[in-house]
Amino acid sequence: MSTEEKKQTTMKKQLSLAAAFLFVLTGIAGCKKESLDKFKTDIIGQWQISKVDAASGQEVVLPVLPGDYYDFKEGEDDIVEVRRNGNLQSGTYVATTSREINMTVGGKLYTCKVTALDGNKLEFTSTQGSTSEKVYLKR
C-alpha cells in the first residue's frame, strides 16, 4: 500500500470516528431535552401547600393557610402563581434541570432543588439569599 493510500485510509477512519462521535453526542443531548420536557410537564398545574419547614436543620414549621398553593402555568412565559399566607403573587419560573427550578416572584430569585416528584407530590428546598425552606406540595 502506498503512502497516499495509507493517508486516505487514515482520513476515512478519522472522519468515521468523528461522525460516530457527533451521532452519539446528538443522541445524548436529545435525551436530556426529553428528560427536561418531561420534568416540566410533570410540575405544570396547581399544587396545594401541605407544609413548609425552615431548612435550617431544625424542625421549624412555617405557617400555611388553607388554600395556599403554587400554580405552574404552561406557556411561553412560564408563569407561576404563589399564594402563601393568603397573599397572592405571580412571577416566572425556569426548569433548569430535571431536579431544579428557578423562580422569580415578588422581585426575588428562588433556587429550588426538587427532592421528590410524582403525580401527586412535589417537594423542594427553596433558597433565596441566605434563607432556605423545605416546601411540601400535593395535588
CATH topology assigned to domain 44-138: Lipocalin (2.40.128)
Listed in sequence order, the residues at least 6 apart from 138 whose beta carbon sits closer than 8 Å to its beta carbon are 47, 48, 50, 120, 121, 122
> CA–CA separation, 95 vs 90, rounded Å?
16
The model carries a pTM of 0.72
pLDDT at position 54, please? 86
Amino acid letter for position 135: V
- The residue among 95, 89, 129, 91 whose CA lies nearest residue 113 is 95
Which three cell numbers mark 86? 393568603
How do the domains of the chain map onto residue ranges? Answer: 44-138
Q: How many CA atoms lie within 13 A of 50 on its CB side?
A: 10
User: Per residue of the chain (139 residues), what is the pLDDT tens digit?
Assistant: 677 777 777 766 655 555 445 444 444 444 455 687 889 999 999 999 999 998 766 667 788 999 999 999 998 899 999 999 999 999 999 998 878 999 999 999 999 999 999 989 999 999 999 889 999 999 9
What is residue 92's predicted lDDT score, i.e. its pLDDT?
98
